[in-house]
Amino acid sequence: MAPRDGSTHLSTEHARRTNVRGIGVSPGRAAGPVAQLAGAVPAPSPHERLAAGDDVEAAAASVAEHAAAVAEGLSTAAESAEGEAAEILATTAQMAADPTLVQSAQAKVREEGKAPALAVWEAADAVAEQLSALGGYMAERARDVRDVRDRVVASLLGVPMPGIPQREEPFVLVALDLAPADTALLDPSKVRAIVTAEGGPTSHTAILARSLGIPAVVGAPHALEVLEEGRTVLVDGAAGTAVLDPSAEDVAAAEALATHVRTFDGEGRTSDGHRVHLLANVGEPAGAAKAAQAGAEGVGLFRTEFCFLDRNEEPTVAEQVKAYRTVLAAFPGKKVVVRTLDAGADKPMPFLTDTAEPNPALGVRGLRTSWRNPRILDNQLTAIAEAAAAESADVWVMAPMVATVDETEEFVAACNKHGLTTAGVMVEVPSAALMSGPILARAAFASIGTNDLTQYTMAADRLLGSLASLSDAFHPAVLRMIEETCRGGAQQSRPVGVCGEAAADPATAVVLVGLGVSSLSMSPRSLPDVAAVLAATSLQRCQELAQLALGAESAEQARALVRGQLPVLDELGL
């Protein structure tokens, strides 16, 4: 997904007035007032003292007043939030209301003549340091204390509150980028669209926006300067544009599309009936039930590392069985592809990966971690087999980051030893794409991870916003890798699916089907859009469009050629 110049579905007037252009990563159009995510609160100067003649008691009282106002604001926000966000807000509110911090800051005002903001800053830092020194759970609370510190200081200084703005009315969130901690507080009923200056198609922000169904544009360099606080903006998450002061007609059209909720009937096919299995990507086990509700035909990628992240040691087999069973239980009788642990690079795990590697993306990651630690893979396969025996789902297992025929052979043998007979590989490395024939002579199936396959084909770190224009699965070089993988699959009569983010983009999905991909796995939110576009396109048309894209010279050209031939995208606002 790259900057798109040839947006076909915006009015000419709209296109002329495009103020910010980036990478459209979550389709849909929405308008609203801009609310910028405030940057970090600056540390007050250590020399900020009360001026001669200042009322010391009034200054001390202001600390308590602002802390109380912050606590109240957070409690109100907690009441209207849900789930994890409500919990985080309520905990932070309690911390802001804690008298210890206020009293210690007031002492600094009264006894040392420090300005209220500096006093709060220093008092909170002292508490945070004590907590950090205690380690474990207490150390994690240090971050919450610093969050409260920033809020009270922002309130005292009259600067914007850090973090996701808390507003009565829905808004368009504009930020440099979103940190994972910000996104926990993101309320989809309030955030109509997201525009970030940094980030690429596989960034945290992009994945989150897609999973919440919020239109989003990332990698829009001047977003913060151009999209000023309070101005009305219309965001097009498919075209990758944001327009200030849109016409009433464009806003009405966007709103009409937003109210039209598409659903997926649970069976993907092209207009002439060619079956394309539409599956869900699942991370946290609890997400499996939601994926089933969304009509997913099964799970095409269960990222098991979610059960391992934030752990200092490997979870026990029993813990793993419990987590895996939650996912399998949501899909009785249906296919669930369980990916073995993908540790390393963007998913470091202290008990398994070496964080000092100079090039973690090219290092000991994915299946390679089992070379030195075969026991962890063995334990995981034991847990998967146990979970599979206890549930009725059709369990497939695959390994991430496979590069060679030998690795395939060893992995398949390890799975078979545990009675897991449908063992496959992810194709994420160009060598595996080019060797898919012999690889698929050993493996039962392949699933293409386009996020990593794009990263390695284009030699562009998927996490670097500055390289986002290269991180584009629509690039003909990446499409040729996919074509080659499908050729190997056809030779060996083995199914080839796609489970990277490219599967969730309806225009890319059409091309993938045309290249020979038989299943697409994506965030459950994307299922209705991909299903609707496939249902309007024949297999032959998919094949023609795939050839058109393969013959292009750049990702932009390939995308523009394909989109230009798919008027259904325009009709559906995708």
Binding footprint of ligand PEP on the chain (CB under 6 A): 301, 303, 342, 428, 449-452, 499-500
Q: Is 32 in the site for Mg ion (CB under 5 A)?
A: no
Question: Which residue, 337 or 388, is less far from ligand PEP as judged by CB?
Answer: 337
Residues numbered 411-430 forming contacts with Mg ion, rule: CB under 5 A: 428
Burial of 285 (0-12, 13-18, 19+ CB in 10 A): buried
Question: Which residue, 241 or 457, is less far from Mg ion as judged by CB?
Answer: 457
From the CB of 399, what's the least distance to ligand PEP, in Å? 12
From the CB of 370, what's the least distance to ligand PEP, in Å? 17
> In angstroms, rounded to a whole number, what is the distance separating the alpha carbons of residues 180 and 153?
23
Of the residues 307, 415, 486, 499, only one is catalytic, namely 499
Question: Which residue, 295 or 449, is less far from ligand PEP as judged by CB?
Answer: 449
The three-class DSSP label of residue 427 is: strand
204 is catalytic: yes
Report the chain's terminal Cα–Cα distance, integer Å: 13
Question: Which residue, 314 or 428, is less far from Mg ion as judged by CB?
Answer: 428
From the CB of 499, what's the least distance to ligand PEP, in Å? 5
CB 444 within 8 A of CB 424: yes
Q: Which does 494 bind (CB under 5 to 8 A by kind): ligand PEP, Mg ion, none?
A: none
Identify the CA nearest to 177 among candidates 151, 146, 206, 149.
206
Binding mask 434-473 for Mg ion (x = CB under 5 A): ---------------x--x---------------------
277 is catalytic: no
**What is the Cα Rg of the chain in Å?**
26
From the CB of 360, what's the least distance to ligand PEP, in Å? 13
Q: Which does 499 bind (CB under 5 to 8 A by kind): ligand PEP, Mg ion, none?
A: ligand PEP
Distances from the Cα of 193 to the Cαs of 13, 252, 273, 372, 574, in angstroms?
Answer: 21, 16, 35, 45, 14
| Helix boundaries (H) for 33-98 | 56-80, 83-97
Of the residues 66, 204, 277, 486, only one is catalytic, namely 204
520: tokens are 């697409």
CB 207 within 8 A of CB 523: yes
Q: Which does 391 bind (CB under 5 to 8 A by kind): ligand PEP, Mg ion, none?
A: none
Question: Which residue, 450 or 537, is less far from Mg ion as judged by CB?
Answer: 450
CB 278 within 8 A of CB 318: no
Identify the CA nearest to 512 among candidates 277, 246, 203.
277
From the CB of 281, what's the least distance to Mg ion, in Å? 11
Residues serving a catalytic function are 204, 499
Residues in contact with Mg ion by the rule CB under 5 A: 428, 449, 452
